[in-house]
C-alpha cells in the first residue's frame, strides 16, 4: 500500500491541470493507496481556503467523501475522518472537527477557540470541550 501526498489528491479533485489530473486518476485507480489523516486535513484546507481553491463546503464534503470511498483507498483512522467530515459538513471547521474526533482517548478537549466550543455544543458532539 502506498501513502499518497495531498498534491495527488488535489489534482484528482479539482482537475485544474488536465495532464496531472489524468496521472493522478490513473495512479489512484491502479494502486492500493493509503490516505493519512494529516493529508485529509491538508486537502480540506487546500480545497476550502481562500488561499487555495475556495470551494464551497458542500463541494469539499462531496469530494472528500468520494475520494475516501474509492475502492483502492484506505483511510487512516477512517471512522474518525468520517466523523470529522460529518461535523465539517454541519458547519465546524475541518481542523477543529478532526482534532475533536481524534481525542477519543481523552476526557476533555481544551481550547481558547470560542467558535469551536459553540459549534461543538450546537452539534452535540458528545465531547466535553472546555474553554481556558
The per-residue DSSP string of 10-68 comes to: HHHHH--SHHHHHHHHHHHHHS-EEE-HHHHHHHHHHHHSTTTT---HHHHHHHHHHHH
Paired residues of 35 in beta bridges:
75
Distance, in Å, from the CA atom of 92 to the CA atom of 98, rounded to the nearest integer, reads 10
* Residues 44 and 94 sit within 8 Å (Cβ to Cβ): yes
Distance, in Å, from the CA atom of 31 to the CA atom of 94, rounded to the nearest integer, reads 27
Alpha-carbon dihedral sign for residues 42, 46, 48, 50: positive
- Enumerate domains of the chain plus CATH numbers: 2-104 (3.40.50)
**Res 56: pLDDT:** 97
Q: In which element (H, E) is residue 108 found?
A: strand 108-111
Q: Which residues contact 56 (CB under 8 A, 6 or more apart)?
A: none
**Res 26: pLDDT:** 97
The pTM of the full predicted model, rounded to 2 decimals, is 0.91
**pLDDT tens per residue, the chain (132 residues)?**
999 999 999 999 999 999 999 999 999 999 999 999 999 999 999 999 999 999 999 999 999 999 999 999 999 999 999 999 999 999 999 999 999 999 988 888 998 889 888 888 888 888 888 888
**Res 88: pLDDT:** 97
**Res 104: pLDDT:** 84
Amino acid at each position: 500500500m502506498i501513502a499518497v501526498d495531498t498534491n495527488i489528491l488535489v489534482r484528482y479533485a479539482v482537475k485544474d491541470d488536465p495532464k496531472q489530473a489524468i496521472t493522478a486518476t490513473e495512479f489512484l485507480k491502479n494502486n492500493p493507496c493509503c490516505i493519512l489523516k494529516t493529508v485529509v486535513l491538508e486537502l480540506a484546507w487546500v480545497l476550502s481556503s481562500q488561499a487555495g481553491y475556495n470551494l464551497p463546503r458542500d463541494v469539499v464534503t462531496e469530494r472528500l467523501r468520494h475520494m475516501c470511498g474509492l475502492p483502492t483507498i484506505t483511510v487512516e483512522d477512517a471512522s474518525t475522518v468520517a466523523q470529522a467530515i460529518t461535523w465539517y459538513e454541519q458547519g465546524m471547521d475541518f481542523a477543529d472537527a478532526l482534532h475533536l474526533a481524534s481525542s477519543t482517548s481523552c476526557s476533555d478537549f481544551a481550547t481558547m477557540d470560542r467558535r469551536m466550543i459553540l459549534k461543538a455544543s450546537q452539534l452535540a458532539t458528545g465531547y466535553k470541550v472546555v474553554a481556558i
